Amino acid sequence: MNVEPPAASPSTTPAPSDDAAAASSSASADDDSSIQSVFKIKQTELAERIQSRAERVRQEAAALEELSRQLDLAGGPAKDSVEGLRAMLEQASLDCEHARLEYVLAKAEVDEARQQVDQLTETKEALSERLLQILHANEKAKLEKLDELRVQLDAPPQSRPAAVGATGKQVAVADGGKALPQPEEEEEGFDGFDELSLAAAGGGASAGGGDGGAGGGDAGDGNGKS
């Protein structure tokens, strides 16, 4: 008896063939190649962007360096000048303050010296004024004495006062031997001897002696005038 083989179940999947496997492998390889291509493209683009950015950064750094150099060149001398002027200004301020203090001290010394000069000048003027007053009073007294002696010389012999002799005592006049009061102290330069005094001191001298006494009186008058 012949036995038939069992029929295939409809749910059973048939085994893939070699063509299908090859097609699947080819599709997978194409996908990998496509992914690699895209990766290379993006990598290249990123590298180019990085290189471009680096170039820009380098240019900007060079520009900034140039600007910094120009700034140093532009501000360097001015800065040095400002610092130098500031140092000179501080030194000048110190010198000015020192000079001001010296001026104050010198001014005080000048004021003190001026006060001394003023005081000494006042003293000098006072002494000069006093000297002039004394000289004026002396000259006035001498003039008055000269006038008095001239009056005595012109007066009669009987009315003349007694003269002081060499011993400092009064000498009597001729009329009655009565001594007259001694005249006031005479100024230097006048001897005070007149004709009557000489005649009384000589004890009755001759007329020639009297003339000599008159001559002595004239001489005394001349000394008073000088």
Render pLDDT for 36-57 as a digit per residue (tens, 0 to 9).
Answer: 888 889 889 999 989 988 988 9
Shortest CA distance to 172 belongs to which of 186, 190, 158, 184?
A: 158
- Asked if the structure places residue 13 within a domain, the reply is no
For residue 164, the SS3 value is strand
Instruction: Establish if 203 belongs to a structural domain.
Output: yes
| Direct distance between the N- and C-terminal alpha carbons of the chain, in angstroms, rounded to an integer | 215
CA distances from 87 to 26, 42, 81, 83, 84 (A): 87, 64, 10, 6, 5
Per-residue model confidence as pLDDT tens digits over 49-104? 899 889 889 998 999 888 888 877 776 666 667 788 889 999 999 999 999 999 99
Q: Which domain holds residue 190?
A: 155-225
pLDDT at 85: 87
For residue 194, being part of any structural domain is answered with yes
170: three-class secondary structure by DSSP: strand
Contact 183, 194 (CB under 8 A): no
* 132 is a domain residue: no
- Does residue 27 belong to any structural domain of this protein? no
Residue 86 lies in a domain: no
Number of domains the chain is built from: 1
**pTM value > 0.85:** no
Q: Is 166 helix (H, G, I), strand (E, B) or coil?
A: coil
Q: Look at residue 130 in the predicted model and tell me its pLDDT.
A: 96
Q: Is residue 99 part of a domain?
A: no
Within-domain flag for 107: no
Predicted local distance difference test score (pLDDT) of residue 33: 82
Mean pLDDT of the chain: 72
E strands, 64-142, in order: none
